[in-house]
């Protein structure tokens, strides 16, 4: 018998009490705590470019750990007077009640960027002095609770749930000693996962550093040739919507955007094509692909190299194909080189923006590529492959360990948070 079982046997042998969320949580609130949303909105001044008196905390900010500072939204001092009741000045939980309704964020004042931080729209803030907030955090993430939350989420239109229905959900409330012991056990799992995540972040910084350094050469150390000299660049295939979902493999925008190299296992898209289209828009091992257009300049020209021969494979019209004219470059060498900071900056600098950001073959042709001997290329690839495996391989390395720890946490969380109900 573990300590949790011992405590339950000692403190609540007849079972655990179940109470409505509204009975144990002091504050479940959003803008409506300071008046109707319409009334408040009239008096709130949002500041998108610059620092205001208080930051508007949205679940998107919590998800990104406040990394997208250029996308922060602020309110001025006058508006803060209308939002003072949702000033996030104590421990609590934030949950979106519109959109990603199953998300749960544990917050304390020290995690926020500013002194004054107010709750953003489409979210609820949950505080309690009767129940451990950390206990609630683990409970609300549990499969047991997520199933009950799903029952009150609207199945049509934008996903959302009614706050009154949320307050009426009954949850298990064991004695505080039981809550503390469950929190202690589960927090140990989350702390280990956080340590591994921090290590992964550090490794990725190290990976990026060496990727850029290995492609930095002293003046006169290597010769350079332009992409235009080394590759033939071609636009991709455009087909009607009905042609997709069956047929031959196709390299799509997302394939190139999300992968630095492509192999047989990474391509999921299919398209109906004839022999002439396969000939004109075919893809073969060694081809480098670039995203051609996107919403922002930073997202265009993302590259991926095909490292397998895939019979019948073609590429999309949202992608540019650069086919090698020579055998001077290894495919993996290209995959790493075209993702370096220097190349990314060159692509962004030459991009054009009207309604969307775009790049073209002539613009990509200006990129200068270092020509180093094949032996050195192999050495560079071997070094970066080790970093890539450590940072990105989901079957081994840090990502695999994080995944294993997360599954372990989820198993014990659901087990520890299953209680016999008192009658």
Query: Is residue 73 assigned to a domain?
Result: yes
Return the H-helix or E-strand segment holding 392. Answer: helix 374-392
Higher-confidence residue of 18 and 14: namely 18
Query: Structure tokens of 109?
Result: 């004042």
How many H-runs (helices) and E-runs (strands) does the chain carry?
17, 23
Q: What is the mean pLDDT of residues 343-353?
A: 88
d(CA 62, CA 316): 35
Are 103 and 248 contained in the same domain?
no
Q: Angle formed by the axes of helices 176-214 and 374-392, to 10°?
A: 170
Distance CA 360, CA 235 (A): 9
Model pLDDT, residue 5: 77
In the predicted structure, residue 199 carries a pLDDT above the cut 80:
yes
In a domain, 189, yes or no: no
Q: What does the DSSP assignment read for 139-189?
A: HHHSHHHHHHHHHHB-SSSS-BB-HHHHHT-EEE---HHHHHHHHHHHHHH
Judged against a pLDDT cut of 70, whether residue 123 lies above it is answered with yes
Q: pLDDT tens for residues 288-313? A: 999 998 888 888 889 999 999 999 99
What's the domain range around 288? 223-371
Q: Which residue has the higher pLDDT, 393 or 63?
A: 63
Give the contacts of 357 (CB within 8 A, at least 6 positions apart).
293, 294, 295, 296, 297, 299, 300, 351
- Which pLDDT does position 29 carry in this prediction? 64
Same domain, 29 and 106: yes
**Banded pLDDT at 39 (limits 50, 70, 90):** low
> Comparing 88-92, 335-339, 391-395, which segment has the lowest mean pLDDT?
391-395
Asked if the structure places residue 70 within a domain, the reply is yes
Query: Is the same domain home to 104 and 237?
Result: no
Task: Work out the widest C-alpha separation in the chain, in whole angstroms.
Answer: 83
Unique residue bearing structure tokens 């309110």: 75
Interval 200-210 mean pLDDT: 90
Residue 12 or 376, more confident:
376
Residue-wise over 50-72: b if at least 16 C-beta within 10 A, else e? Answer: eebbbbbbbbebbeeeeeeeeeb
Residue-wise pLDDT tens digits, 224-283: 999 999 999 999 999 999 999 999 999 999 999 999 999 988 999 999 999 999 999 999
Confidence at residue 1, expressed as pLDDT on a 0 to 100 scale: 47
The verdict on 151 and 277 lying in the same domain is no
Rounded mean pLDDT, 134-163:
90
pLDDT category, 37, cuts 50, 70, 90? very low
Three-class secondary structure of residue 132 per DSSP: coil
For residue 266, the Cα-to-chain-centroid distance in whole angstroms is 19
As a whole number of angstroms, the distance between CA 46 and CA 118 comes to 12
Count structural domains, the chain: 2
Q: Does 169 lie in the same domain as 303? A: no
For residue 316, tell me if it sits in a domain.
Answer: yes
CA 249, 254, 256, 262 torsion-angle sign: negative
Among 356, 371, 386, the domain boundary falls at 371
What pLDDT, on a 0 to 100 scale, did the predictor assign at position 371? 96
List residues bridging with 358 in a β-sheet: 293, 352
Strands (E), 316-361: 319-324, 352-353, 357-358
Q: What is the mean pLDDT of residues 184-193?
A: 92
CATH code of the domain containing 341: 3.90.220.20
In this structure, is residue 418 part of a structural domain?
Answer: no
- Per-residue pLDDT, 43: 57
Do 31 and 168 lie in one domain? The reply is: yes
- In this prediction, residue 319 has a pLDDT band, given cuts at 50, 70 and 90, of very high
pLDDT at residue 32, as a whole number: 46
Answer yes or no: do 93 and 232 share one domain: no
Answer yes or no: is pLDDT of 33 > 50.
no
How far apart are alpha carbons 11 and 299 in whole angstroms?
Answer: 57
The reply to whether 288 falls in a domain is yes
Question: Is 291 in contact with 256 (CB distance < 8 Å)?
Answer: yes
DSSP class per residue in 178-231: HHHHHHHHHHHHHHHHHHHHHHHHHHHHHHHHHHHHHT---TTTSEEEEHHHHE
Q: Are residues 80 and 157 in the same domain?
A: yes
Give percent of the chain with pLDDT exceeding 90: 58
Final residue of a domain: which of 173, 191, 209? 173
Q: Do 115 and 258 have their domain in common? A: no
Model pLDDT, residue 86: 84
Does 186 fall in a domain? Answer: no
Do 241 and 331 lie in a common domain?
yes
If you average pLDDT over residues 78-103, what whole number do you get? Answer: 86
Judge if 25 and 157 occupy the same domain: yes
Please give the Cα distance from 102 to 287 (Å, whole number). Answer: 42
Domain presence at residue 191: no
Q: What mean pLDDT do residues 38-67 have?
A: 75
Length of the chain: 423
Same domain, 283 and 363: yes
How far is residue 13 from each of residues 42, 173, 214, measured CA to CA in Å? 54, 14, 64
Q: Mean pLDDT across the chain, nearest whole number?
A: 88
């Amino acid at each position: 018998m573990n300590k949790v079982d011992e405590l339950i046997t000692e403190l609540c042998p007849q079972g655990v009490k179940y109470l409505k969320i509204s009975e144990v949580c002091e504050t479940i609130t959003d803008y409506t705590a300071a008046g109707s949303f319409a009334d408040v909105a009239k008096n709130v001044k949002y500041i998108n470019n610059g620092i205001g008196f208080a930051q508007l905390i949205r679940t998107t900010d919590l998800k990104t750990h406040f990394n997208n500072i250029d996308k922060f939204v602020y309110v001025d001092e006058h508006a803060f007077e209308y939002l003072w009741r949702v000033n996030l000045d104590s421990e609590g939980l934030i949950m979106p009640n519109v959109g990603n309704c199953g998300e749960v964020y544990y917050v304390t004042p020290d995690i926020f960027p500013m002194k004054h931080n107010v709750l953003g729209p489409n979210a609820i803030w949950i505080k309690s002095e009767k129940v451990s907030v950390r206990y609630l955090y683990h409970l609300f993430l549990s499969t047991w609770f997520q199933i009950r939350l799903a029952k009150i989420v609207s199945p049509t239109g934008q996903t959302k749930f009614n706050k009154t229905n949320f307050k009426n959900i009954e949850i298990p409330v064991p004695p505080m000693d039981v809550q503390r012991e469950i929190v202690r056990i589960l927090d140990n799992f989350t702390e280990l996962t956080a340590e591994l995540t921090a290590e992964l972040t550090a490794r990725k910084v190290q990976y990026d550093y060496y990727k850029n350094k290995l492609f930095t050469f002293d003046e006169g150390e290597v010769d350079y040739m332009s992409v235009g000299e080394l590759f033939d660049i071609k636009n991709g295939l455009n087909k009607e919507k009905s042609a997709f979902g069956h047929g031959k493999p196709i390299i799509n925008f997302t394939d190139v955007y999300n992968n630095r190299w492509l192999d047989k296992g990474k391509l999921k898209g299919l398209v109906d094509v004839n022999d002439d289209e396969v000939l004109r828009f075919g893809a073969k091992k060694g081809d480098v692909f670039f995203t051609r257009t996107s919403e922002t300049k930073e997202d265009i020209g993302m590259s991926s190299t095909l490292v397998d021969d895939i019979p019948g494979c073609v590429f999309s019209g949202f992608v540019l194909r650069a086919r090698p004219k020579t055998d001077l470059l290894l495919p993996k060498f290209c995959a790493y080189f075209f993702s370096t900071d220097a190349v990314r900056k060159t692509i962004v600098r030459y991009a054009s923006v009207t309604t969307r950001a775009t790049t073209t073959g002539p613009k990509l042709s200006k990129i200068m590529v270092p020509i180093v001997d094949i032996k050195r290329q192999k050495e560079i690839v071997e070094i970066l492959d080790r970093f890539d495996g450590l940072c990105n391989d989901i079957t081994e390395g840090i990502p695999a360990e994080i995944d294993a720890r997360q599954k372990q946490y989820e198993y014990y969380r659901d087990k520890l948070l299953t209680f016999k109900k008192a009658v």
